[in-house]
Chains A and B, each alone.
Chain A
Amino acid sequence: METLKNKARELLAGKTVQVVIGYSRGSNGSARAVFICETAKVDSLIFDDECRQNLAVYIIKPEVRKLGRVALVAIPATLRTILQLAAENQINDHDLLVLAVNTSGEVTTLATFQAIEDHVASLDMDLNAAEKTELAKYEKLGMEERRQFWQEQFSRCLKCYACRAACPLCYCNRCTVECNQPQWIPVPAHDLGNLEWNVMRAMHLAGRCVNCGDCSRACPVHIPLYLLNQKLISEVFRNFNVRSGTAAKAESTLSTIRPNDTEDFIR
């Protein structure tokens, strides 16, 4: 914790960065994002298990870019998001300084994408055991059970798009739901529109999502969106042996091909 604060102080004081984006204690005791522009405020920085939000969501926002060079407190998911954003030409090398933190309080400064890549390389990209078992649980269900499960889940969807707002990889200037020529997704929150929205969301994140889980945490009606993401993450890895957010130069899974991709389902 102290190391983090000192680091932040030093960076701001030395004008290496203009703003440090990190975590601070929220009113209800939870962790929330904080933007620190002057050394005086540095002490509000915290880091603990509560700090799960993927702060990369802020760095591509124009208003944040205006603030100047950013130092970003990053958990593993954030690091991978940064690489994914780089691979998608959304940020440039040296745009930001990364302060990789872990629960044991160590802080690693990563100045380049290369450094982030090397750091990320040591991480375990796979879903963790708990996630795997839960995913398997739903995969094992009968088709009809799965359909009912999801219909029930989606029936609660309000189309508030909090999932979209929370996702650092949903950065389009105009989301397809806002297209009305043609109207790809019906506006009202009825079962069909809700299904279509969620299918589209999942598909648009296929091969990109780094499983930070912010979409699910943001959902006011607690739809387990992470299940969809994790399903596609495992499908992408199983079929194409690709992990998103591992390299700043990687080509996107769905826009690249291998002539020997499986086609057992094609007649």
Chain B
Amino acid sequence: MARIGVFVCHCGENISATVDVLKVAAAAAKIPGVAHSVEYKYMCSDPGQQMIKNAIKEKNLTGVVVAACSPRMHEPTFRRACAEAGLNPFLCEMANIREHCSWVHEKSDATTNKAIDIVRTLVAKVKKNKALLPIKVPVTKTALVIGGGIAGIQASLDIANTGHKVILVEKEPSIGGHMSQLSETFPTLDCSQCILTPRMVEVAQHPNITLHSYSELESLDGFIGNFKARIRKKARSLDEKLCNGCGLCTLKCPVKKIPSEFDAGLGMRPAIYVPFPQAVPNKPVIDRQNCTYYLKGKCRLCEKVCPTQAIRFDQEDEIIEADVGAVVLATGFDIKHGDFFPEYGYGKFKDIIDGLQFERLASASGPTLGEIRRPSDGKIPETVVFVACAGSRDPAKGIEYCSKICCMYTAKHAMLYKHKVHHGRPYVFYMDIRAGGKMYEEFVRRAMEEDGVQYIRGRVSRIYEREGKLIVKGADTLLGARPMEIEADLVVLATASVANDGAEALAQKVHVSYDSYYFYSEAHPKLRPVETNTAGIFLAGACQAPKDIPEAVAQASGAAGKVAALFSQNELIREPLIAVVDRQAPPLYSTCVGCFLCQTSCPYQAIEKEEIRGRDGQLIKTVAKVNPGLCQGCGTCVALCRSKSIDIQGFSHEQVYDEVLALLNRGESDV
């Protein structure tokens, strides 16, 4: 027989002003199973809590209902009090007679009756509460960082510096990402590589970081604290231990005319190559699609010249397995390429390039050694038109968002051009200028006012080629939408920042949600910006949304902080309000029939298949099993289960069912 204690709080006047608390306590006392019912001025005060503790001991209560404020306010307080008195905290419930009653109704019998209804409801619930123990999940204190751009690098270093192991996976032959391609960075115009490469080296040398370059995540299973990662290390066709990075092979390789990915197609590289001089690791890789040996079966020149005999033509991809406790996704972004702007002739005319290509032109380490020369004929362009919002903020192009970085880097590009070609005429077509950020607006102003960059507010309608010039047609909407044509030698399109090609596939591999543009979704747009909805998986950088470097770095450090916090304990303690699939004695074993409706409905992939086998090891039936590490306790599966085989602790069938009945059936406790 239940022995429930009801404790009615006045909350000073907050409750007692409109609710007759004495009546409530009296009525509660009459509810079957209530062994003790009192009211007090402030239940949350020390004496109030003491009252509860004493009652638990003296009346050896089996459950407690505190009729006071919202559980969102004081549930932890009272549950702690119960625990201190030796009552399982999950046998304590709160009846919200303040926010949901005394504060929202006038003083009246109806209000008091409602308070009584609420108490009766919670008494009915607590009678069916079960003593629950918090769930403990072990934590593997190794982090997996996917993506070796600035965000991934920052996250790796920050985590490694807290003394935890990091596995960094980069799909390209070298880490560095887009930042390593940049010439200068806004708003300071300091050289990108100068600030990045030291970080790259630090990653390579850090004792806590294991770098897998030229590798990709194959699969990720498990749950927070306990992931199992399989990493595909793509064959470099080279023994990394033997290779000393002398680069002889890359010089001798007969194939030389392959567009360099690093130089955004403006430069050339051999078939065996290091993407760029400061690459980390500084070890070449053979591009098998273009290597003569793989195509024709002969050559092997690199093998001959290699002083350490490191070349391995027969090398195969390798699968590396790793246990990790947390994952940071830092896969970055890409920019729109190809036949995306037929009206701009992008991809048709050599001298219409995108932002990254301009970065390479302006970069001292680029194909033109930092001189602005147009791709077609290497001439120094007299007139350059920069087009902002090329694709961004354009529903017709299916990209409705702002790419965020274009305003700033376009200003930077125009400046760099002017600094390098003093007599040059830079024009910028823009919609709006979005220079929110420390020293950003000032930077753009400088471009306009000191460097004399011509800003034209209007969109470009069409670009076509005429007698070796690029005719840019647009309108100046600040001068009465005057149509204008500019004869340009070079056009730079600030094409939209978009998610990487592989973004969707990866998201599905690791089970994180993503938006309609394939950017990864944060758990909460404001309050949980670096977490995903999948516990233990965090976000850093532009894979979540277009970002500039400082933002990406800040988020990376944030993610690292989250990982460190997770790793700061040996076990995760989680509220046990999770779903469980029932188990029965043989021959039934479980009422679950294994239709696995629950599995498709679970947002957390928390439902697994469990095979029940007889002694002879022969399969008897396959039933659902909830992984307590993954389940977040939404209960969607519970409502879907036809045979009512899944129940959820804290909101069980019995609890909510009895609540409904108790709420609506005013017994003799009625007034």
Contact = CB atoms under 8 A, between A and B. Distances in A.
Contacts of A179: 644, 653
A181 B642 contact: no
Contacts of B188: none
B601 interface: yes
Contact of B644 (A171, A184, A256): A184
Given A181-B654, A182-B653, A182-B657, A89 B644 contact: no
Nearest to A259: B516
B601 A255 contact: yes
Contacts of B627: none
Interface string B644-671: 1100000001100110000000000000
A161 B22 CA distance: 50
Interface in A98-122: none
Interface in A220-267: 251-252, 254-256
Interface string B587-600: 01001111111111
B622 interface: yes
A251 B640 CA distance: 13
A175 interface: yes
B289 interface: no
20 contacts: A89-B595, A90-B594, A172-B593, A172-B642, A173-B591, A173-B592, A174-B591, A174-B643, A176-B642, A181-B653, A184-B644, A252-B595, A252-B600, A254-B640, A255-B597, A255-B598, A255-B600, A255-B640, A256-B600, A256-B601
A252 B597 contact: yes
Contacts of A181: 653-654
Given A172-B643, A255-B601, A255-B640, A89 B657 contact: no
**Most central of B596, B598, B640, B654 by chain A CB within 10 Å:** B596
A182 B657 CA distance: 7
A81 B568 CA distance: 52
Nearest to B640: A255
A88 interface: yes
B588 A254 contact: no
Nearest to A203: B642
Interface residues of B, number: 22
B654 A182 contact: yes
Interface string A68-92: 0000000000000000000011100
A15 interface: no
A195 B593 CA distance: 25
Contacts of B591: 172-174
A68 B172 CA distance: 54
A204 B597 contact: no
A173 to B, nearest CB: 6
A75 B70 CA distance: 58
B643 A251 contact: no
Contact of A88 (B588, B597, B645): B597
Nearest to B622: A89
Contacts of B644: 176, 179, 184
A125 B635 CA distance: 33
A171 B592 CA distance: 11
Contacts of A184: 644, 657
Given A90-B595, A256-B600, A173 B654 contact: no
A188 to B, nearest CB: 18
A204 B642 CA distance: 6
Contacts of A254: 597, 601, 640
Given A171-B593, A174-B645, 12 more contacts: A90-B595, A173-B588, A174-B591, A175-B643, A176-B643, A182-B658, A184-B657, A251-B600, A254-B597, A255-B597, A255-B640, A256-B600
A168 to B, nearest CB: 13
**Most central of A88, A174, A256 by chain B CB within 10 Å:** A174
A203 B601 CA distance: 17
A117 to B, nearest CB: 19
Contacts of A172: 591, 593, 642-643
Contacts of B657: 182, 184
Contacts of A174: 588, 591, 643, 645
A89 B640 CA distance: 16
A182 B640 CA distance: 17
A88 B595 contact: yes
Contacts of B601: 254-256
Contacts of A182: 653-654, 657-658
Contacts of B594: 89-90
**Most central of B588, B591, B595 by chain A CB within 10 Å:** B595
